Amino acid sequence: MAKQQPRVHVWLMLAVLLGTAVYAIAEDLTLVTYYPSPRGVYNELRARGNVQIGSITAPADPATAPRLHVVGGADTTQVLIAANATQSNTNPLLRALASNGTTELFRLHSDDTFNLFLGSNAGQSNTVTGVFTQGLFNTFVGSGAGFSNTRGEENTAAGSLALSSNTTGWRNTAVGFRALESNTTGGANTAMGRRALRANTTGGANTATGASALEFNTTGDGNTATGMRALSINTTGRFNTATGDAALASNTTGGANTATGSAALARNTTGANNIAMGFGAGDNVTVGSNNIVIGFDIDAPSAAGSNQLTIGNLIFGTGVDGTGTTLSTGGVGIGTTTPTAKLHVVQEGPAPALWVDDTAGDTTPFIVTAVGSVGIGTTAPLNTLHVHSAGGVAPRLRFTNPVTGAGGADGAWLGQGGPGGPGLLPDFVLWNLENAPLRFGTNNTPRMIITGGGFVGIGTTNPLARLQVRTGGATVAGAFQNTTPGGTALTVQGRVLVNGDMSVIDGTFTATDKRFTINHPIDPQRKLLIHGTLEGPESAVFYRGESALTNGTATLALPAYFEALTRPEGRTVMVTPKGLTPFAVSATEVQDGRFSVYGTKADGAFYWEVKAVRADVPPLDVEVDKTTSDQ
């Protein structure tokens, strides 16, 4: 009972003093607890147009002092407001009004230990209910923040009208004027910035950072927008990522786009799966999908095209359609937007189209010049392909396949050096390491072959000799020519077999021993018949025949060409009687291709023979000195 006495006296004194204060407005009003009290004389109320709790020291200037000044005491709780049974979200713990006494500035209230609502109409509809106690862990700060929330949980809203339409959505965070204003049931959204995610209703797992970021998103989910107006008019598009002012600003339903950079993919509306990195990158893309655009203010080759790649308007790609581990079907172009191969390089101007070097600073191993010349080991190729070896390795091209194998003794090579090693030699070599032929052809037709056994066939793919030349029709199978007077066109050592005619058109035929061989006419299966030639120190012709005298004389005509073929000097005519009865016979010289025969027997038969020297060839040099090559 002793503890209640000070309280009774305080209220009695308060009633008296308050009554006195009405008539003594200029006086101070001091309320002191009954002394001695548990807290001493320091627990008092002092009023001079102001209210001060916890101190008896008057303010220096009451006009500028706070209307309510609470000086802390020894308790841990300095100000305690206890709600009554009628306190609710519409009957707050604390309200602040404007000077007119009616306009509400803000209110402070809470309906549970885990909720805090600060602001006019903030959290006004929140309801803590249900078997699992829904509507908890919400913090709403700002006029109208979380106004419609009923059973939504774990929401945080800071800003006027932030999350104001939310009813059951949960785990949302909204910071900024009208951030997530229209959200009703969407969950796990984060909106930071004026009007960020303002129109979102049921979309979830969106993150918007920046004024008007994802402002018009309604049901799209999984979007991330960082930057003012990023993804600002997106409505139902999903899984987009926009970083930068106005990135993906026009996107509405396109999904899975990634834009990094101010105005990146700014005009995309329904295109999906696009990637753009850089200021204004891909800002011409509208409805195309699966495009990759990288670089400052770089556009896609086609605004409505899909599966395109461009990096800095230097590297381009087509058919970028691979997903997972599936390879894309297109090609890569350097300097061209329309590659015709997996890698297509185009260079305009005098600079090389391709240059490959190593970090050791060695001789450039590979270069493609502006005119298309390829240099390997040289930076200044002199031909379309120029291979140069500056070290100890011979320049060679090696060819192998799964049949030959890829070992050191497999395949074939073309280049310089000796066949036995890699030494630097001037020899140019085409070398097949396999027991297989070398084939040569033109006009899509086989022309020559060198078999694995070393046989060479020209006009045949199955030569039966070291060199076999085959042809048909009037084509000459082989021709050898030495334009140097006295030079040798062909040297053959050993037997020469000719099956057919052999002609010396212009020149001489020289042999140490000239003979012909034929099958023996009587025993052709077992024997040959060999004859030699009749030789002399001149290039002579002869004609022979038989005739008979008429009245002891006869005139014979030689071929019409005789006079043109033979020299007039050195012609001889021989006549021989025919038969058992001898008689005398003689002949005249050949004149005008004719000669006459006379005999003692009026009708005597005879044999004749005419020899002459050819006029179309020079006389033979019978005895000559050997040339150096003949010695």
- How many Å apart are CA 124 and CA 132, to the nearest integer? 21
pLDDT at 35 over 90: no
Between the alpha carbon of residue 185 and those of residues 137, 168, 199, the distances in Å are 16, 5, 12
Maximal C-alpha separation, the chain: 206
- How many Å apart are CA 255 and CA 241, to the nearest integer? 9
User: What amino acid is encoded at 158 in this protein?
Assistant: A
Tell me what the mean pLDDT of segment 79-83 comes to: 74
Per-residue pLDDT of 303-355, as tens digits, reads 999 999 999 999 999 999 999 999 999 999 998 999 998 998 888 777 777 77
Q: In 15-71, where do the E strands start and end?
A: 29-32, 44-47, 51-53, 68-70
What pLDDT is attached to residue 67?
A: 66
Tell me what the mean pLDDT of segment 81-86 comes to: 71
Per-residue pLDDT of 98-117, as tens digits, reads 889 888 787 788 778 888 89
Task: Give the N- to C-terminal CA distance of the chain in Å, as an integer.
Answer: 158
> How crowded is the C-beta side of 382, counted as CA atoms within 13 Å?
2
- How many Å apart are CA 482 and CA 504, to the nearest integer? 14
Q: What percent of the chain has pLDDT over 70?
A: 85
* Residues ≥6 apart with Cβ < 8 Å to 36: none
Q: Hey, what are 155's tokens?
A: 């929401």
Helix (H, G, I), strand (E, B) or coil at 258: strand
Tell me what the mean pLDDT of segment 50-70 comes to: 68
Element of type H or E holding 8: helix 5-23
8 A C-beta contact, residue 232 and residue 226: no
Domain boundaries, the chain: 2-70, 92-239, 438-467, 540-613
Q: Please give the DSSP secondary-structure letter assigned to residue 78.
A: S
Q: Beta strands 224-226 and 241-243: pairing type?
A: parallel
What pLDDT is attached to residue 85?
A: 64
Helix (H, G, I), strand (E, B) or coil at 9: helix
* Residues ≥6 apart with Cβ < 8 Å to 546: 578, 605, 606, 607, 608
